[in-house]
Structure 1
Amino acid sequence: MASVAAASAALVIGVANSAVAADHTMHTGDAFGSVTGWSGTAFFNEYGDVVTIKDADADGRGVTMNVYIGDPYGNPRYSFSVGGEGNTNTRKASMGGVYNLPENTDIGFKFCRSPDGECKDYTFHNDN
């Protein structure tokens, strides 16, 4: 029983630390039909250029992250999506190509509820 409790506590701490460790957190607009929650949450870690998105609402919609060089209206770099409450999707520099974001450059993010396209814009300086 004690080992199950310890394993559960380690899992909770591990999940909490991954969100706390993010350099930047982003949210989509409100969940469909809600004024208190978000349809999606995203995290950007500069070290390794890790971008993770999560569908946070069982509303029948997904979320899409669009990544740009500069600001959210700059040079398009890549886009990816996920759907289904609790599901996540990640892109990172170790995947190569467009996922390896330039250093010492502003990176724009347009994080959208899909398919209706309600978006929030973010810009962060990638200096790691």
Structure 2
Amino acid sequence: MKRSHKFTGIAGLLTAVALLGAPEAAAADHSVKTNDADPGGVAYFTEHGDVVKVCDIEADGWAVGVDVYWNGGSYTLKAGGNGNCKSTDANTHDIPENAYVNFRIYLYKSGTAYAYQDTAQWYNDH
């Protein structure tokens, strides 16, 4: 009986850890961070559903933006404040299938734009 209880506790803990960590990690196909020493922003791209999410990940007074562009279209997402995120999907911005999609992530604040930028390009096959 005691042995069974211990197994249930460990299994329950492992299940809880898996459920807490899995959604974010499993959902995004790609990610890119700002190019500062301690990155202040991150953008995620999930091909199925054309989900783009940008997050401010540091309390540094800077906001984060990501420009998303492909042949024939573009848009920008911005988020400010540590822990805040913005996202969009195919319902708002339909990215064509079988196309290269470009991302430019950067930090900005009053008087300064496109600081610590980095770029990435991924092929959207979904």
User: Where on the TM-score scale, by shorter chain, does this alignment land: which range?
Assistant: 0.7 to 0.9
1:48 is aligned to 49
Question: Does residue 1:20 correspond to 2:25, yes or no?
Answer: yes
Alpha carbons of structure 1 residues 59 and 13: separation in structure 2 relative to 1, 3 Å: same
C-alpha separation in 2, matches of 1:39 and 1:60: 10
1:3 is aligned to none
Alpha carbons of structure 1 residues 14 and 82: separation in structure 2 relative to 1, 3 Å: farther
* Pair member with larger Rg: 2
Report the CA distance between 1:18 and its aligned residue: 2.6
Q: TM-score, normalised by structure 1?
A: 0.76
2:7 is aligned to none
Alpha carbons of structure 1 residues 48 and 62: separation in structure 2 relative to 1, 3 Å: same
Corresponding residue pairs, total: 111
Identity %: 32
Question: Does residue 1:89 correspond to 2:86, yes or no?
Answer: yes
Tell me the amino acid that sits aligned with residue 108 of structure 1. N
User: For residues 37-116 of structure 1, what are the structure 2 equivalents within 5 Å?
Assistant: 37-70=38-71, 77-94=74-91, 96=92, 99-115=93-109, 116=112
Tell me the amino acid that sits aligned with residue 109 of structure 1. F
Partner of 2:23, secondary structure, is helix
C-alpha separation in 2, matches of 1:16 and 1:54: 17
**Contact (CA 8 Å) 1:55, 1:82: kept in 2 or not?**
yes
**Contact (CA 8 Å) 1:45, 1:51: kept in 2 or not?**
yes
Q: Which runs of 5+ in 2 are unaligned?
A: 1-11
**Contact (CA 8 Å) 1:66, 1:76: kept in 2 or not?**
no
Partner of 1:90, secondary structure, is strand
Q: TM-score, normalised by structure 2?
A: 0.78
